[in-house]
Structures are given as structure tokens and as C-alpha cells.
Amino acid sequence: MYKIPMSLYIHMPWCVQKCPYCDFNSHTVKRTPDYKAYIAHLIKDLQHDAVFCSNRSIHSIFIGGGTPSLFSAELIDKLLLNINKIIPINKNAEITIEANPNSVDIERFNGYQQAGINRISIGVQSFQADKLVKLGRIHDPKEAITAGKLAQTLNLRSFNLDLMHGLPNQSIDDAIYDLEQAIAIAPPHLSWYQLTIEPNTLFGSKPPVLPDDDKLWEIYQRGHQLLTKHGYQQYETSAYAKEDLQCQHNLNYWRFGDYLGIGCGAHGKLTQPDGKVIRTIKTRHPKGYLEGRYLDKYYTVPKEDLPFEFFMNRFRLFEPTPKQEFEQRTYLPLQTVEKQITTAIERNYLIENKQNWQITDYGKLFLNSLLELFL
């Protein structure tokens, strides 16, 4: 079997407060959850999934949420030690934990590092008090700066700041100010993404006034120029990094790698030795999950759906797509997509050489139209 890299996503479902824009599977803490019991269930969940991935190791780990930094360093240490017993973690694996600025302190960060965490992703979103209030965030600008500077002092492989633009009543200057504050902290990685209104959120039922399309385009253009000027390379739709410091976990997703998903509502994708691609979805609500009902859905992706799934992920990245990678990760011959690729090239969505396909600048603007060719 071709060794497709395999990552592990771990979902921690609790937050102190649900943000009005958030459609992730997160649950407000009303009384302190049994964090210790949840860790024990995560370990059992992984033991059940291990049957799908014999003789494989873990390429990267991402602990997301919710607010994973609600969990103590001792519990994270216990979790990672047990993961390594069930499925070996590569020695050079990138291991990330998400953290809110208000749950950050030197003792906790040091504890995570000693447990094996080598990358921290801090959910800043904005450096302006009025914008943070509107977004329902429970930290202030000072805490955001303190958390970023603290991460800078640690001997981590990397750290990321999450930042949003297109916020309610945000001016172009407001958006650029936020970016300037982030750049001053000098994170190796910046996730800079536009606020979108999702159904089943508070903003979905009571939409705020957002910048219009012209303003959003100018924010993006000025922000992109600023980030490029300071040595950040855009490698994905909403991600920028200093050279060779891209998020390895996310790269594995977009390159159609495999990943286990444990915890409430987590998704997994695992290629089997016969080429079948299995997807798993875990029980969303903590109540059911903590009763030991981990697996909600499990299915094999039909072969005819694999080209669309591959390109939907791969064309999110701005790097070339190796043709060999399509064959290795879908177990399909290139002839399967020959007609669609020809059409995409004729429409100037793609260019190609002997080894690679490359999405054009024009193709990036019409990504949905490009992907529709593979449906």
C-alpha cells in the first residue's frame, strides 16, 4: 500500500461562551464537565479506530474545539502518552493545540510543551475591543497581545494567530490595523479569514451589518500586500506562513491525506489497502459520547466521487498538484479525469506540464466552476 500520511484530529467540545458566528460543534460550559472522563473516552475512541490503520503512524495531531486550553496540561500529557501506545506518533510530528488568549499563562503553556505540544494556535480574531465584544469573544486586546508575545518566547516549532476580517461595521483601516498588530508579534503562521454568516448561529438569525463586496476586496488586496511585504507567503485560501512554516496538519487535509477523528462530532478519512476510502463521523453531543457511543456514521466513499473530493481539497492550495498524487491517493488512473482536465485547461482554469497541474489566477476566481467539472 502507498503510504499516505495519516494525521489525527481531536475535538474538545466545550467553550466558556458560544460566539455568535460559530457553527462548530461547541457547547457552553454550564457546570464544570468531567474533563478526566472525556480524556478516557477519547482514548477508547482511538482504540476502536485503530483497527482501520494497522502498521501506520501519526504524521500530525491537531487538538481543536471548542476551547482545548480548558484542559489541563496533565490531561493533555496523559492523552498524548496513550495515543502513542495505541498508534505510534512520528518523532518529528507537528502537534498543535488551540488556545483562547484569556486561558493562556506561562505555566499552562510550559505544561503543554512538556506534554509534547510543539505548536499553539491562538484565537485572537481582532485586536479592537469593540470588535471583540461584537464577536462575543471573552478576551480583550491586551490579553491577545500578551498571549502572542508569550508564545513567541517559547521554544515552539511554530505558533499561529487566528485573525478575522470583514467584521461588523469594520472599516478598511480597522482591518489593516488588526493585521499590523498581528505582524508586530511576528507569528510564523497567520490564519486570516473572512467572517461568513452561517445558518444555525446567532448571526444567522440576526445578521449584523458587514462590509460590502468592494470594501472586502480592498481589505483583501491591502492586507495581502502588507503580509507579503513582511515575508508571509499565502499558501492556501486563508493561510499565510513564513518560509517552510506552513501548518503540516492542514497541508495533509488539503493534499487529500488520511486522518483519524476522535471526540464529539469529529470526522475521519482513511484509505484502506484495497484503495477504499472510509469516512467516519463521531457522535456530536457530549452526553452520548460520554456514554460510550462514539461512532455515529461510517461509510465508503463511492469511487465516482473521489475525483471531486480530491480536487475540492487540492485546489484550495496554491502549490502545483502532482498528477502522480492523484493516482496514489484515489487509486484511480489519470484517464478518469482526462476529459474534465482538458475542459479546465481550455477555460483557462488550469495549466499543466508533464508532472503537475496548476490552478491559474483566473481559476482561483472561478473555483466553484472548476470543481463542478468533476461532479
Q: pLDDT tens, position by position, for the chain (375 residues)?
A: 558 999 999 999 999 888 988 888 888 988 899 999 999 999 999 999 999 888 899 999 999 999 999 999 999 999 999 999 999 999 999 999 999 998 778 899 999 999 999 999 999 999 999 999 999 999 999 999 999 999 999 989 999 999 999 999 999 999 999 999 999 999 999 999 999 999 888 898 888 999 999 999 999 999 999 999 999 999 998 999 999 999 999 999 999 999 999 999 999 999 998 999 999 999 999 999 999 999 999 999 999 999 999 999 999 999 999 999 999 999 999 999 999 999 999 999 999 999 999 999 999 989 999 999 999
Q: Which of the 8 DSSP states describes residue 317?
A: B
Q: Which of the 8 DSSP states describes residue 87?
A: S
Q: Which of the 8 DSSP states describes residue 302?
A: P
Position 314 scores a pLDDT of 97
Domain with CATH 3.20.20.70 in the chain: 6-252
- To which residue does cell 457553527 refer? 23
- What is the pTM assigned to this prediction? 0.95
The domain defined by 6-252 folds into TIM Barrel (3.20.20)
| Crossing angle (nearest 10°) for helices 306-314 and 323-330 | 130
Which cell numbers in the block locate residue 354? 508533464
Domain with CATH 1.10.10 in the chain: 305-375
CB atoms within 10 A of CB 176: 17
Task: Specify whether the CB–CB gap between 351 and 27 falls below 8 A.
Answer: no
Position 20 scores a pLDDT of 87
CB atoms within 10 A of CB 75: 18
Which cell numbers in the block locate residue 294? 462514539
Position 103 scores a pLDDT of 78
The domain defined by 305-375 folds into Arc Repressor Mutant, subunit A (1.10.10)
Q: Can you say how many angstroms the Cα of residue 360 is from the centroid of all Cα atoms in its chain? A: 24
